[in-house]
Amino acid sequence: MDINDIGIDNNEAAQLLVDGFGRQITYLRISLTDRCNLRCVYCMPKEGVQLLSHSEMLSYEEILKFVNALVSRGVNKIRITGGEPLVRKGVVNFIEKLNNIDGIKDMAMTTNGVLLGKYARDLYNAGLKRINISLDSLNNEIFSKLTRGGNLDSVLKGIDIAKTVGFEPIKINTVLMRGDNDKELMNFINFAVKNEFNLRFIEYMPIGQNISQAITSKELIDKIKTEYKDFEPKKIDERSVSKEYYFSAQKNNKAVIGFISPLSEHFCNDCNRLRITASGKLRLCLFYDEEYDIKEILNSNASDENIYKYLLDVLQKKRQTHLFNNKNNKNETDNLQNNNNITTDGNIYMNKIGG
């Protein structure tokens, strides 16, 4: 893709964040913390991880400075993640300040829902209108096993309160893993239909773990079609990372079933996102371990223009696509480490990345 294909003139294009393959960055995912009140099996090891100290984490002021610099260059979609974002003190006030930044068209949060009942109303009043809740089981015993001690009832209560407060749509993110919770597929479908939720099945991304547990979106779709003959695809924006389906025989039901397939049908050609970790590391791709430290430039008196130039330079290193099975190729890793400002950690866990 050429810059001219983006639909803007050359003067505007010169000020946007565009990578070496012509992809414009419009979406930023922000991890507020590596801390979490659950210990989900695909997110961190049973014994937990070494957590960042307060001084190692980006301050809210640093995050806001970074967002301001990016919004002026075309970023208009923000997602807040963690760890679990609601465990960080001051999160509601931060959301309010983020919401006041002119140019942000879409702001959302991904949470495990444990604290959602406590914060839902305040978050909504602060300007957050969209929320995704990670929920991988509707069975108390399985939920407790997958989260290593989590309480399903507290999450379901949080979802109900969020619905009452006015969040719409409420999206449920579900990762089905072979041998763990894959038999709950139809339970989740019925749950979504009953509550008219937007349910999204996300392919299991085994970062450093067992890929044999991964179940493709196609496999899930085929199974659902055996139970629901009216399960049909919706017409959506081709750039959307989610393939969405609905039940044509239930025209008044708002339930949407989506499938996000980063492994079997990656959407790299239209990738428009960046991630920053709670420690201030910029990640260009979820599937590669190299990170670029932005904390130093944020702590300096750098102008938005200097931050933009730094990011534009880093963006030229963004890959055209991920090659998951070759992710840990030694020669490739050695070559990456020869680049400036790159750190790699082959044992990094999802709680530090933000998903």
- The pLDDT of residue 45 is 77
Residues, the chain:
355
- What does the pLDDT look like over 26-54, one tens digit per residue? 999 999 999 999 999 888 777 777 899 99
Which structural domains are found in the chain, ordered by start?
3-353 (3.20.20.70)
Lowest model confidence (mean pLDDT) among 53-67, 142-156, 170-184, 259-273: 259-273
d(C-alpha 63, C-alpha 33), whole Å:
12
Q: Which pLDDT belongs to residue 88?
A: 97
Q: Which residues contact 195 (CB under 8 A, 6 or more apart)?
A: 163, 170, 255
Give the DSSP letter string of 204-243: ---TTS-GGG---HHHHHHHHHHH-TTEEEPP--TT-SEE
Question: CB–CB of 148/141 below 8 Å?
Answer: no
**pLDDT at res. 328:** 42
Residue 347's contacts (CB-CB under 8 Å, 6 or more residues apart) are 208
Q: What is the reported pLDDT for 265? A: 81
Q: What's this model's pTM, rounded to 2 decimal places? A: 0.87
pLDDT tens digits, one per residue of 263-304: 888 778 889 999 999 999 999 998 788 899 999 999 998 999
The percent of residues above 70 in pLDDT, for the chain, comes to 84
Q: Look up residue 101 and give its amino acid.
A: I
For 26, the token pair is 């419009």
Q: What is the pLDDT of residues 145-160, one digit of tens each?
A: 999 999 999 999 999 9
